Every structure is written in C-alpha cells, then in structure tokens.
Homo-oligomer: A and B are copies of this chain.
Amino acid sequence: MKKSIGSKALIYPSPVWCVGSYDKDGNPNVMTASWGGICCSKPPAVTISLRKATYTYNNIMETKAYTVSVPSKNYAREADFFGLTSEKKTNKFKKTGLTSAIANKVHAPYVDEFPMVIECKVIHTLEIGLHTQFIGEILDVKVNAAILGEGGLPEMLKVSPILYAAESRTYFGVDGFIGKAYSLGKAIK
C-alpha cells in the first residue's frame, strides 16, 4: 500500500547538467538544470526545460543552440554555484575560474574542465507552463580522453555525474556497476 505525497515534479533520479549558451554579444553563460533527458535516438536528441526568467532562455531563443556539460562529483560546488546566481549579476566562468571552451558544431560554449559535453541545435520549442522545453538535436558528444573505456565509450564511474533529488534539494553520486542491460533480465526470460 503506497502513500500519496501529492502532485509534485519529483521522480528519482534527475541529472545535474550545466547548460552553455552565448548571449547576443557573444558572452558565454552557463546555468545548472535538472529538468531534462534524452528524448529520441534518431535523430539523437535531448530536452532541457528552462524558465523564461533565466538568462539562458533568452540566449537559446536567440542562438537556437546550447551545450550540456556533465559536471563530475568533484565539481559539485561549481555546478551548484552555476544554479545559484545569474549571469546578469556575475560572470560565472570568471568567478569559478573554469574555462569557457568553444563548441565546434553549434554556436555555444561549454565547461572545459567537465568530463563530458553534448552540442545541441534546437529543433523544437514547447511551452509547457512555468518551463519551456527546448529539444536539441545532439550534433556531437565530446569527452576527455581520460574517461574513455571499453569500445571507446565514456565510463560512468570515471565521468562520475551528479544526481539531484528535488524537493529535498540534495545531490548524490554514482555507485558501482550493477550489471549489463538487455542481459540481466534473461534469467527471467
């Protein structure tokens, strides 16, 4: 018997991602977002939802492009900072000492120190309510060579992404390997 805790934007896990964009003068900005996820395999695409009040919202409406950088656990402090303040008030790259790198498939910056980034071109925009959803086609995935493993793919435990628990507003990390997908369940089959 489950207990109802009401209608909330709450499900586990949610990601902690840093969205990079340029303003109309070409100044780089980055903000932290947890409302998003992959939404299509072909074309590969990801969603990010933003409030209209954010600097990033206006940037993406202008440029139709963004990046999503994945902070590793050891950058939790910087990732949290990117969500705490607005570029309207603070130059976030300068303040954290992190580097704004230039994406080469889209007009957007990314966080060079973070281990993984995707470069996205906006293909759909949808007003849902408080948040607007941007669907971005993923034109490239870029990673630090140090986190690559078997098959030339990024290793989860080396990327060490951060998870967000909404409502309780807490961050968590990634634990050990559980098993292979499309394989574990064969025992039942």
Task: Tell me if A53 counts as interface (CB < 8 A to partner B).
Answer: no
Asked whether B11 lies within 8 Å of A116 as measured between CB atoms, the reply is: yes
Interface positions of A from 164 to 187, Cβ below 8 Å from B? 164-187
Instruction: Tell me the count of chain A residues lying within 8 A, CB to CB, of chain B.
Output: 108
Q: Copies of this chain, how many? A: 2
Task: Tell me if A73 counts as interface (CB < 8 A to partner B).
Answer: yes
| Cross-chain contact of A135 among B44, B128, B172 (Cβ < 8 A) | B128
The docked-state distance in angstroms from the alpha carbon of A12 to that of B13 is 11
15 contacts between A and B (CB under 8 A): A7-B141, A9-B38, A10-B154, A34-B38, A47-B47, A80-B183, A80-B184, A81-B189, A82-B185, A123-B128, A164-B181, A169-B181, A170-B179, A171-B181, A175-B175
